């Protein structure tokens, strides 16, 4: 039975990149449903892409083909791969760690292959657009029922490349976290879960230190529970601790970008 394709990339919306991939899929598999989850992944940021894939995986349809492209090494030695998770989703993309946190959440990789069956590639193969020439055609065929074994040479799941999420550092009076994602509202997701805040006893009121400045912040459950323009640390809808400003942009107010450190200290 056909599988839907859930398509993630850093292709953006200015260019034809994502749309041409959709056209390639429609050419090869006109009946397959494509769900564009996002093409706004931060450019060339494999870690940020891995976080978004992992965060959103539980909301993807069962049996989906996850087609994901953040591929700064395109044209180099990194392998194009496809794999099946124990949760029976298929994953297609570059072997650079992008897929693996989501795969782990879906039960880990069951079988994997390098997408080296050139009969499935578009020709001439470009050096810079494997989304169009390798990944989209593979996803289309796999969604239509092609067996993973027919897409290329088997590879050991253990050999697939991985990328580590940064770990928060623990201090006596709190934590040092890293900003991993900034959304359009200026909310800044940290590499912290609710339990990290709890264990560090960060609650009610805290101090944030970042880029040489100090800020008071509330630890809160919703925006609605604080005043306009207050800084809050809240557990966002994906379970991550995020810095937010009610009716404003935390990224702007605190001058935060992805990769910045944020020191969180207990107050009182």
Residues in contact with a copy of itself by the rule CB under 8 A = 4, 6, 8, 11-17, 19-20, 22-24, 26-27, 30, 33, 35-40, 43-44, 52, 55-56, 59-62, 64, 72-77, 122, 126-129, 132-133, 183-185, 221-225, 234-237, 247
263/217 Cα distance (integer angstroms): 12
Closest approach of Cβ 109 to a copy of itself, in Å? 21
Strand, helix or coil for residue 119:
helix
**CA-CA-CA-CA dihedral for 251, 255, 261, 266, to nearest 10:** -80
Closest approach of Cβ 229 to a copy of itself, in Å? 13
Closest approach of Cβ 42 to a copy of itself, in Å? 9
Whether 125 and 111 have beta carbons less than 8 Å apart is answered as: no
Closer residue to a copy of itself, CB minimum distance, 68 or 175: 68
As a whole number of Å, the end-to-end CA separation of the chain is 59
Closer residue to a copy of itself, CB minimum distance, 29 or 112: 29
Strand, helix or coil for residue 28:
helix
| Token pair of 201 as six digits | 């006893």
Closest approach of Cβ 33 to a copy of itself, in Å? 7
Closest approach of Cβ 20 to a copy of itself, in Å? 5
- In degrees, rounded to 5, the angle at the alpha carbon of residue 139 between the alpha carbons of residues 134 and 142 is 120
Closer residue to a copy of itself, CB minimum distance, 76 or 154: 76
């Amino acid at each position: 039975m056909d599988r839907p394709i859930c398509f993630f990339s850093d292709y953006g919306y200015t260019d034809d990149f994502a749309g041409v991939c959709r056209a390639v899929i429609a050419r090869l598999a006109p009946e397959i449903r494509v769900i564009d989850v996002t093409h706004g992944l931060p450019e060339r940021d494999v870690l940020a892409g891995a976080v978004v894939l992992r965060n959103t995986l539980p909301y993807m349809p069962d049996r989906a083909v996850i087609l994901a492209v953040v591929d700064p090494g395109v044209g180099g030695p990194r392998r194009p791969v496809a794999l099946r998770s124990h949760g029976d989703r298929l994953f297609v993309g570059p072997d650079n760690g992008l897929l693996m946190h989501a795969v782990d959440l879906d039960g880990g990789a069951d079988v994997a292959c390098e997408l080296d069956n050139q009969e499935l590639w578009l020709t001439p193969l470009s050096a810079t657009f494997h989304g169009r020439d390798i990944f989209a055609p593979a996803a289309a065929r796999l969604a239509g029922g092609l067996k993973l074994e027919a897409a290329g040479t088997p590879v050991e799941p253990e050999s697939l490349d991985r990328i580590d999420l940064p770990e928060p550092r623990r201090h006596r009076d709190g934590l040092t976290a890293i900003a991993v994602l900034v959304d359009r509202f200026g909310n800044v997701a940290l590499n912290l879960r609710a339990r990290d805040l709890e264990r560090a006893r960060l609650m009610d009121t805290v101090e944030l230190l970042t880029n040489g400045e100090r800020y008071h912040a509330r630890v809160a459950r919703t925006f609605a529970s604080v005043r306009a323009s207050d800084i809050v640390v809240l557990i966002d809808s994906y379970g991550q601790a995020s810095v937010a400003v009610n009716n404003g942009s935390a990224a702007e107010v605190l001058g935060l970008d992805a990769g910045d450190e944020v020191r969180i200290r207990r107050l009182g």
